[in-house]
Amino acid sequence: MRRKRKYASARERIRKRYPELFEPGANEIGIASDFISDIRSLKSGKPVVIYCRVSSSDQDYKQNLSDQMVSMQDRIKQKGYEIIRTIKDVCSGWQEERDGLLLAAKIAQKNKAVVVAESPTRLIRSRDFNSKTNWKVQPTVAEYRRLQRDTRGVKLATLVNPDATPEEIRSHETRRGKNAKGNPGGRPRKRCPGYKLRIRQEYLPKVLDLYERRKNKALIARMTGLNYNTVYSWIRKYS
């Protein structure tokens, strides 16, 4: 008589693959500093593996990943730590078994080093994270334990205080990006009084002349260097 094959229940399969989900307090919001250290707690000369991450190839294309890497290398060298390797990753922070993070942990384990990221959000994101609608959500205890499992228990550290608020982390990343691109931010410099009047006196005759010669508005805007809406409003008002 053929025996029936026994199948483990879905709950048992999940428990086996994700044991951290079933530990006490697993679904509570985690405290980052219980799992990630501040780089200032490391001894000078400590070997480190730099881990840089962005979520999408679009961010990589905008040089955000390179800016993050250069900024981290400069700051870590200033603090007197030995950089063994720099690993770059393009993937979501909630993704399991990230190739870049696994490689950084493997190298760190081999060299008795520490994996250092810019901030906790570069190492881990909550599965409920959304950059527009839910960007303040924090990882759970289970998600931090999963991070420890994926990184083989290697020590993790960040340049930003691990317990910094989401607002503080986002502010830091924004400042770093602006400094790297030479954009200090702030409001644009005000024009001198009478600026609009002088522009209109100089360009209005040219705009009307081109329009009379049957040039379309988009072409006139390109030829004069003016904004299309400005050309449109002048023609509508003065022609």
- Cβ–Cβ under 8 Å, residues 38 and 117: no
Report the C-alpha gap between 56 and 137 in whole angstroms: 20
User: What is residue 195's three-state secondary structure?
Assistant: helix
Q: How far is CA 24 from CA 64, 141, 142, in A?
A: 38, 9, 9
Q: At 221, list the tokens.
A: 């805007």
Kindly tell me if the per-residue pLDDT of 38 is higher than 90.
Answer: yes
pLDDT confidence of residue 76:
94
Q: At 59, list the tokens.
A: 């961010």
- Cβ–Cβ under 8 Å, residues 116 and 50: yes
Q: How far apart are the first and last CA of the chain?
A: 97
Report the C-alpha gap between 229 and 236 in whole angstroms: 10
The pLDDT tens digits for 45-102 are: 999 999 999 998 888 777 889 999 999 999 999 999 999 999 999 999 988 888 999 9
Task: Write down the residue that tokens 């002349």 correspond to.
Answer: 209
The pLDDT tens digits for 164-221 are: 999 999 999 988 888 877 766 666 566 677 778 888 888 999 899 899 888 888 888 8
Q: What is the DSSP letter of 55?
A: S
Lowest mean pLDDT among 9-18, 118-127, 147-156: 9-18
Beta-carbon-side half-sphere exposure of residue 222 (alpha carbons within 13 Å)? 5
pTM to 2 decimal places: 0.70
Kindly tell me if the per-residue pLDDT of 135 is higher than 60.
Answer: yes
Indicate the length of the chain as a whole number. 239
Residue (of 174, 71, 168, 57) closest to 118 by Cα position:
71
Q: How far is CA 46 from CA 5, 111, 160, in A?
A: 53, 11, 18
Mean pLDDT of the region 130-135: 89
Kindly tell me if the per-residue pLDDT of 20 is higher than 70.
Answer: no
